[in-house]
Amino acid sequence: MPVRPLLSLLALSALLVGCDHQLNQMRENRFTPFKTAQAPTVAPSALVASLKASGNGSLTADSLENLNTLLRVQGRLRQQTLTLQPYTPSGERLAQRLASVLREQGAVAEQVTVMPSRLEAPEAKEWDLQVVSEALVVKVPDCSIADAKAWTVKPYQAVGPLGCSNRANIAAMVSEPRDLIRPQALDGGDGRAAVNAVGRYHDDEVRELLDIDFQD
């Protein structure tokens, strides 16, 4: 290639790069100030569900709903440390049954503890059983529309921080919350588990979400 056309091409490239840089600055200045997308956070969480026994030896409907809500909010069952504290004889029987159900649903056996009954405690007059769940919980960023009335006029400011949805999706999908706060080497792939999951999807045999039910 002749020297003069080569120099012209280089000059044109430099000019285009300079224009592109100026255009980016103009766009950025036009939409500033804008907030940076909030990163997901991981923090210890301890929640308590106070449960009441029903007349048939199970839990009341409200107690079952509170228990299932607690377990879902705290993340995957195998990541939770569960302490069952009975306050009445009925609560003591329920605690043993509930511990077995939790282990069957995926809780680590060593992380499910049934405490001795505390019949003399003041809570014995109010509740038959309390369940304490301790776990590392991921707080997913709120990616709702910042200003729904202005998104057609000022889209960037109205929609909210860019990248928020991507970070929220990653936080919602993570199976081990610690992976968001420290690096870890990847484990070996489990082909059998992957094939079984796809097979259940095609065969319409999807596993139900966690839902404790003493009626089964």
| pTM confidence score | 0.62
Tokens of 77: 């069952």
Of the candidates 147, 144, 142, 149, the residue with the CA atom closest to the CA atom of residue 157? 147
Tokens of 140: 């997913």
Tell me if 128 sits within 8 A of 36, measured CB to CB. no
Q: Where are the domains of the chain?
A: 41-139
Distance CA 37, CA 19 (A): 28
3-state secondary structure of 175: coil
Tell me the average pLDDT across 65-77: 91
CATH superfamily ID and name for 41-139: OmpA-like domain (3.30.1330.60)
pLDDT recorded at residue 162:
73
Residues 173-188 have pLDDT tens digits of 887 888 887 777 777 7
